[in-house]
Amino acid sequence: MILGTVSDTVDVDGNSKSATSQVKLQDELNRFLNLLVTQLRHQDPLDPLDTNEFTAQLIQFASVEQQIQQNANLEKLLNLQETSQVAAMVNFIGTTVEVTGDTVPLENGRAEFTYDLGVNATNVTITIMNSSGLTVFVGEGKTGAGKHSFVWDGKSASGGEQPDGVYTVVVGALDRGGNLIEVEQTVLGRVTGAGVDEGAISLFLSDVTVSMDDVLSVKETPASAPPDAASSSGDTNPPPDPTL
Supply φ then ψ for residue 35, to 5 degrees. Answer: -65, -40
Find out whether 71 and 17 touch, Cβ atoms under 8 Å. Answer: yes
What is the spatial distance between Cα 200 and Cα 210, in angstroms, rounded to a whole number?
10
Give me the tens of pLDDT residue by residue for the chain, a chain 244 residues long.
Answer: 233 333 343 344 545 666 776 677 677 767 776 776 676 676 667 666 666 666 777 777 677 777 777 777 777 776 666 666 666 677 888 899 999 999 999 999 999 999 999 999 999 999 999 999 999 999 999 999 999 999 999 998 788 999 999 999 999 999 999 999 999 999 999 999 888 776 678 889 988 999 888 999 999 887 754 444 443 333 434 444 444 3
What is the spatial distance between Cα 207 and Cα 136, in angstroms, rounded to a whole number?
18
Model pTM score: 0.59
The set of residues, in sequence order, having a beta carbon less than 8 Å from that of 99 and lying 6+ positions away, is 186, 187, 188, 189, 203, 205, 210, 211, 214, 215, 216
Find out whether 172 and 146 touch, Cβ atoms under 8 Å. Answer: no
